[in-house]
Protein backbone atom coordinates (compact mmCIF):
# COMPACT_ATOMS: atom_id res chain seq x y z
CA UNK A 1 0.00 0.00 0.00
CA UNK A 2 1.38 3.32 -1.00
CA UNK A 3 1.69 5.91 1.69
CA UNK A 4 1.23 3.70 4.74
CA UNK A 5 3.95 4.29 7.32
CA UNK A 6 4.53 0.65 8.30
CA UNK A 7 7.49 1.39 10.56
CA UNK A 8 5.72 4.32 12.20
CA UNK A 9 2.61 2.29 13.02
CA UNK A 10 4.76 -0.58 14.33
CA UNK A 11 6.63 1.89 16.54
CA UNK A 12 3.36 3.21 18.02
CA UNK A 13 2.14 -0.31 18.77
CA UNK A 14 5.54 -1.33 20.14
CA UNK A 15 5.66 1.69 22.47
CA UNK A 16 2.11 0.98 23.65
CA UNK A 17 3.14 -2.57 24.58
CA UNK A 18 6.44 -1.54 26.16
CA UNK A 19 4.81 1.11 28.33
CA UNK A 20 1.53 -0.76 28.93
CA UNK A 21 -0.40 2.25 27.66
CA UNK A 22 -3.48 1.91 25.45
CA UNK A 23 -3.65 3.77 22.15
CA UNK A 24 -6.48 4.54 19.74
CA UNK A 25 -7.16 2.37 16.72
CA UNK A 26 -4.92 3.08 13.76
CA UNK A 27 -6.26 1.28 10.70
CA UNK A 28 -9.05 3.64 9.70
CA UNK A 29 -6.88 6.71 10.20
CA UNK A 30 -3.93 5.29 8.25
CA UNK A 31 -5.81 3.35 5.54
CA UNK A 32 -4.30 0.05 6.67
CA UNK A 33 -5.67 -3.06 4.94
CA UNK A 34 -5.09 -6.71 5.87
CA UNK A 35 -1.88 -7.15 3.87
CA UNK A 36 -0.55 -3.86 5.18
CA UNK A 37 -1.47 -4.97 8.70
CA UNK A 38 0.59 -8.16 8.39
CA UNK A 39 3.49 -6.00 7.19
CA UNK A 40 3.10 -3.88 10.35
CA UNK A 41 2.99 -7.06 12.46
CA UNK A 42 6.25 -8.21 10.84
CA UNK A 43 7.88 -4.87 11.66
CA UNK A 44 6.45 -4.91 15.20
CA UNK A 45 7.83 -8.39 15.89
CA UNK A 46 11.13 -7.43 14.27
CA UNK A 47 11.52 -4.77 16.97
CA UNK A 48 11.44 -7.61 19.51
CA UNK A 49 13.91 -9.71 17.51
CA UNK A 50 16.21 -6.69 17.25
CA UNK A 51 16.43 -6.60 21.03
CA UNK A 52 17.31 -10.26 21.26
CA UNK A 53 13.99 -12.10 21.44
CA UNK A 54 13.61 -15.31 19.46
CA UNK A 55 10.63 -16.53 17.42
CA UNK A 56 9.30 -19.69 19.05
CA UNK A 57 5.95 -20.18 17.37
CA UNK A 58 2.75 -19.09 15.77
CA UNK A 59 -0.66 -18.41 17.29
CA UNK A 60 -4.02 -18.54 15.65
CA UNK A 61 -6.76 -16.11 16.61
CA UNK A 62 -10.51 -16.06 16.21
CA UNK A 63 -10.76 -19.74 15.29
CA UNK A 64 -13.91 -20.10 17.44
CA UNK A 65 -17.32 -18.41 17.26
CA UNK A 66 -17.05 -17.53 20.94
CA UNK A 67 -13.94 -15.46 20.29
CA UNK A 68 -15.25 -13.88 17.09
CA UNK A 69 -18.40 -12.82 18.90
CA UNK A 70 -16.47 -11.43 21.89
CA UNK A 71 -14.37 -9.05 19.80
CA UNK A 72 -16.72 -8.48 16.84
CA UNK A 73 -14.23 -9.59 14.17
CA UNK A 74 -15.07 -12.70 12.17
CA UNK A 75 -11.94 -13.69 10.29
CA UNK A 76 -9.28 -16.18 11.34
CA UNK A 77 -5.98 -14.40 12.02
CA UNK A 78 -2.46 -15.39 13.06
CA UNK A 79 0.38 -13.85 15.01
CA UNK A 80 3.90 -14.57 16.21
CA UNK A 81 5.14 -15.87 19.57
CA UNK A 82 8.58 -15.08 21.01
CA UNK A 83 10.55 -16.70 23.83
CA UNK A 84 9.99 -13.70 26.12
CA UNK A 85 6.21 -14.23 25.94
CA UNK A 86 6.51 -17.74 27.36
CA UNK A 87 5.72 -18.14 31.05
CA UNK A 88 6.64 -21.44 32.73
CA UNK A 89 3.65 -23.63 33.48
CA UNK A 90 2.47 -22.60 36.96
CA UNK A 91 4.53 -19.40 36.70
CA UNK A 92 3.58 -15.83 37.50
CA UNK A 93 2.84 -12.86 35.26
CA UNK A 94 2.79 -9.28 36.51
CA UNK A 95 -0.45 -7.60 35.44
CA UNK A 96 1.35 -4.25 35.61
CA UNK A 97 3.28 -5.29 32.48
CA UNK A 98 0.00 -5.28 30.55
CA UNK A 99 -2.81 -2.87 29.74
CA UNK A 100 -5.96 -4.93 30.27
CA UNK A 101 -4.86 -8.58 30.18
CA UNK A 102 -7.32 -11.38 29.55
CA UNK A 103 -6.75 -15.13 29.67
CA UNK A 104 -8.19 -17.85 27.49
CA UNK A 105 -7.86 -21.64 27.27
CA UNK A 106 -6.01 -23.02 24.29
CA UNK A 107 -4.60 -26.22 22.82
CA UNK A 108 -0.91 -26.11 21.87
CA UNK A 109 0.89 -28.23 19.28
CA UNK A 110 4.61 -28.91 19.25
CA UNK A 111 5.53 -28.86 15.57
CA UNK A 112 7.60 -31.61 14.08
CA UNK A 113 7.85 -31.96 10.30
CA UNK A 114 5.96 -29.11 8.70
CA UNK A 115 5.72 -29.12 4.93
CA UNK A 116 7.94 -26.94 2.78
CA UNK A 117 6.18 -24.15 0.91
CA UNK A 118 4.24 -25.64 -1.98
CA UNK A 119 4.39 -29.14 -0.50
CA UNK A 120 1.06 -30.76 0.36
CA UNK A 121 0.19 -30.81 4.06
CA UNK A 122 0.97 -34.36 5.16
CA UNK A 123 -0.78 -36.05 8.04
CA UNK A 124 -1.33 -34.23 11.31
CA UNK A 125 0.68 -36.98 13.04
CA UNK A 126 3.71 -36.15 10.85
CA UNK A 127 3.44 -32.43 11.44
CA UNK A 128 2.82 -32.50 15.20
CA UNK A 129 5.00 -34.23 17.79
CA UNK A 130 2.92 -33.52 20.90
CA UNK A 131 -0.10 -31.62 22.19
CA UNK A 132 -0.72 -29.76 25.45
CA UNK A 133 -3.27 -27.63 27.28
CA UNK A 134 -2.27 -23.97 27.30
CA UNK A 135 -3.30 -20.54 28.53
CA UNK A 136 -2.90 -17.50 26.36
CA UNK A 137 -2.74 -14.06 27.93
CA UNK A 138 -3.97 -11.56 25.36
CA UNK A 139 -3.64 -7.81 25.78
CA UNK A 140 -4.90 -5.58 23.02
CA UNK A 141 -2.87 -2.41 22.78
CA UNK A 142 -6.07 -0.57 21.73
CA UNK A 143 -8.24 1.27 24.22
CA UNK A 144 -11.26 -0.67 25.50
CA UNK A 145 -9.95 -3.85 23.79
CA UNK A 146 -11.74 -2.61 20.66
CA UNK A 147 -10.35 -2.98 17.17
CA UNK A 148 -11.02 -3.71 13.49
CA UNK A 149 -9.56 -6.69 11.61
CA UNK A 150 -6.47 -4.84 10.32
CA UNK A 151 -5.97 -3.21 13.74
CA UNK A 152 -5.77 -6.55 15.58
CA UNK A 153 -3.52 -8.13 12.93
CA UNK A 154 -1.10 -5.19 13.12
CA UNK A 155 -1.07 -5.57 16.92
CA UNK A 156 0.27 -9.14 16.58
CA UNK A 157 -3.24 -10.45 17.30
CA UNK A 158 -3.12 -9.14 20.90
CA UNK A 159 -0.34 -11.62 21.82
CA UNK A 160 0.92 -11.02 25.35
CA UNK A 161 2.13 -14.18 27.07
CA UNK A 162 1.42 -17.89 27.13
CA UNK A 163 1.90 -20.89 29.41
CA UNK A 164 1.94 -24.47 28.20
CA UNK A 165 1.03 -27.48 30.30
CA UNK A 166 2.59 -30.93 30.00
CA UNK A 167 3.07 -32.30 26.49
CA UNK A 168 1.34 -35.59 25.57
CA UNK A 169 1.60 -37.74 22.48
CA UNK A 170 -1.09 -36.81 19.95
CA UNK A 171 -4.30 -38.59 21.05
CA UNK A 172 -6.58 -40.38 18.59
CA UNK A 173 -9.16 -37.63 18.58
CA UNK A 174 -8.82 -33.94 19.40
CA UNK A 175 -12.13 -32.83 18.02
CA UNK A 176 -14.44 -33.02 21.02
CA UNK A 177 -12.49 -32.64 24.25
CA UNK A 178 -14.04 -30.70 27.12
CA UNK A 179 -12.35 -27.40 27.99
CA UNK A 180 -12.61 -25.46 31.26
CA UNK A 181 -11.13 -22.14 32.26
CA UNK A 182 -10.95 -21.83 36.06
CA UNK A 183 -10.12 -18.70 38.02
CA UNK A 184 -9.45 -19.15 41.73
CA UNK A 185 -11.07 -22.57 41.66
CA UNK A 186 -14.27 -21.32 40.05
CA UNK A 187 -15.30 -22.22 36.53
CA UNK A 188 -15.15 -19.07 34.40
CA UNK A 189 -15.67 -20.58 30.93
CA UNK A 190 -16.77 -23.97 29.63
CA UNK A 191 -16.28 -25.23 26.09
CA UNK A 192 -15.08 -27.93 23.78
CA UNK A 193 -12.19 -28.24 21.36
CA UNK A 194 -14.93 -28.71 18.75
CA UNK A 195 -15.39 -24.93 18.98
CA UNK A 196 -11.98 -24.50 17.29
CA UNK A 197 -12.89 -24.73 13.60
CA UNK A 198 -14.80 -27.95 14.33
CA UNK A 199 -11.48 -29.65 15.14
CA UNK A 200 -8.32 -27.88 16.36
CA UNK A 201 -6.26 -29.85 13.85
CA UNK A 202 -7.85 -27.64 11.18
CA UNK A 203 -6.21 -24.63 12.81
CA UNK A 204 -2.85 -25.98 11.67
CA UNK A 205 -4.00 -26.21 8.05
CA UNK A 206 -5.30 -22.65 8.32
CA UNK A 207 -2.06 -21.46 9.93
CA UNK A 208 0.06 -23.02 7.20
CA UNK A 209 -2.16 -21.56 4.53
CA UNK A 210 -2.58 -18.07 5.96
CA UNK A 211 1.01 -17.57 7.15
CA UNK A 212 2.28 -19.11 3.91
CA UNK A 213 0.48 -16.36 2.01
CA UNK A 214 2.83 -13.92 3.70
CA UNK A 215 5.91 -16.05 3.11
CA UNK A 216 6.07 -17.22 6.73
CA UNK A 217 7.14 -20.84 7.25
CA UNK A 218 6.42 -22.81 10.39
CA UNK A 219 9.46 -24.53 11.88
CA UNK A 220 10.15 -27.83 13.56
CA UNK A 221 10.28 -27.26 17.33
CA UNK A 222 7.88 -24.30 17.22
CA UNK A 223 4.82 -24.03 19.41
CA UNK A 224 1.49 -23.54 17.68
CA UNK A 225 -1.53 -22.19 19.56
CA UNK A 226 -4.73 -23.29 17.83
CA UNK A 227 -6.88 -20.44 19.20
CA UNK A 228 -9.14 -20.18 22.22
CA UNK A 229 -12.12 -22.50 22.55
CA UNK A 230 -14.05 -20.00 24.72
CA UNK A 231 -14.26 -16.26 25.26
CA UNK A 232 -11.40 -14.70 27.25
CA UNK A 233 -11.78 -13.41 30.83
CA UNK A 234 -10.05 -10.44 32.50
CA UNK A 235 -6.94 -11.33 34.50
CA UNK A 236 -6.94 -9.64 37.91
CA UNK A 237 -3.95 -9.31 40.25
CA UNK A 238 -3.65 -12.31 42.56
CA UNK A 239 -5.71 -14.62 40.35
CA UNK A 240 -4.81 -18.27 39.90
CA UNK A 241 -5.86 -19.47 36.45
CA UNK A 242 -6.13 -23.03 35.18
CA UNK A 243 -7.01 -24.26 31.70
CA UNK A 244 -8.20 -27.86 31.84
CA UNK A 245 -8.47 -29.86 28.62
CA UNK A 246 -9.96 -33.34 28.78
CA UNK A 247 -7.34 -36.06 28.18
CA UNK A 248 -4.53 -33.47 27.99
CA UNK A 249 -4.47 -32.14 31.55
CA UNK A 250 -3.93 -28.68 33.00
CA UNK A 251 -1.92 -25.53 32.28
CA UNK A 252 -1.82 -22.84 34.97
CA UNK A 253 -0.49 -19.43 35.82
CA UNK A 254 -0.75 -16.85 38.57
CA UNK A 255 -1.13 -13.09 38.31
CA UNK A 256 0.90 -10.81 40.55
C1 LIG B 1 -7.48 -11.35 19.31
C2 LIG B 1 -6.69 -12.61 19.51
C3 LIG B 1 -7.56 -13.83 19.46
C4 LIG B 1 -7.76 -16.30 19.99
O5 LIG B 1 -7.31 -17.29 20.57
O6 LIG B 1 -8.85 -16.30 19.42
C7 LIG B 1 -6.94 -15.06 19.99
C8 LIG B 1 -8.19 -10.90 20.57
O9 LIG B 1 -9.12 -11.55 21.01
O10 LIG B 1 -7.80 -9.86 21.11
O11 LIG B 1 -5.83 -15.11 20.46
MG1 LIG C 1 -5.58 -16.89 21.72
Pocket perturbation via mutation, ligand 1, pick of 37, 134, 136 by most ligand atoms within 8 A of CB:
136
Does residue 103 lie in a domain region?
A: yes
Q: Which helix (H) or strand (E) holds 106?
A: strand 102-111
Judged by phi (left if over 0) then psi (alpha if -120 to 50, else beta), residue 238 lies in left
Within-domain flag for 12:
yes
- pTM of the shown model: 0.97
3-state secondary structure of 209: helix
Per-residue pLDDT of 8-46, as tens digits, reads 999 999 999 999 999 999 999 999 999 999 999 999 999
Q: Tell me if 52 is assigned to some domain.
A: yes
Q: What is the DSSP string of 6-74?
A: HHHHHHHHHHHHHHT--B---HHHHT--HHHHHHHHHHHHHHHHHTT--EEEEEEES-SHHHHHHHT--
Task: Domain count for the chain, please give it.
Answer: 1
The domain of 62 spans: 6-255
**187 three-state secondary structure:** strand
The C-alpha atoms of residue 45 and residue 213 are separated, in whole angstroms, by 18
Residue % of the chain over a pLDDT of 70? 98
Q: Which ligand 1 atom sits nearest the alpha carbon of residue 106?
A: 5
Q: What is the mean pLDDT of residues 177-200?
A: 97
In this structure, is residue 109 part of a structural domain? yes
The residue whose C-alpha atom lies closest to atom 11 belonging to ligand 1 is 61
Residues lining ligand 1, Cβ inside 6 A:
59, 61-62, 67, 71, 104, 136, 138, 140, 152, 157-158, 227-228
pLDDT in tens, 197-229: 999 999 999 999 999 999 999 999 999 999 999
What are the φ/ψ torsions at residue 228 (nearest 5 degrees)? -75, 140
CB 89 within 8 A of CB 74: no
> In this structure, is residue 57 part of a structural domain?
yes
| 3 CA → ligand 2 middle, Å | 31
pLDDT at 119: 74
Given the CA of residue 145, which atom of ligand 1 is nearest to it?
A: 10
Question: Are 89 and 164 contacting, i.e. CB atoms less than 8 angstroms apart?
Answer: yes
Q: How many residues does the chain have?
A: 256
Ligand nearest to the CA of 71: 1
The Cα 196–Cα 193 span in angstroms is: 6
Nearest CA to ligand 1 atom 10: 158
- CATH number at 169 reads 3.90.850.10
1 lies in a domain?
Answer: no
ipTM summary value: 0.99
Residue 227 CA, ligand 1 centroid: distance in Å: 7
The answer to whether residue 155 is domain-embedded is: yes
Amino acid sequence: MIGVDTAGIAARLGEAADTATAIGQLAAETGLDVDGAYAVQTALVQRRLDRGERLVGLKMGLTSRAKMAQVGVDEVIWGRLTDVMRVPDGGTVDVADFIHPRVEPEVAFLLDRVPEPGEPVGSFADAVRAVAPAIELIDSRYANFTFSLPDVIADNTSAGAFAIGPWSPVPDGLDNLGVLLEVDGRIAQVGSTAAILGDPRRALDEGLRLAGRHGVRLRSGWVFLAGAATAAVPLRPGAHVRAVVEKLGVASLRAA
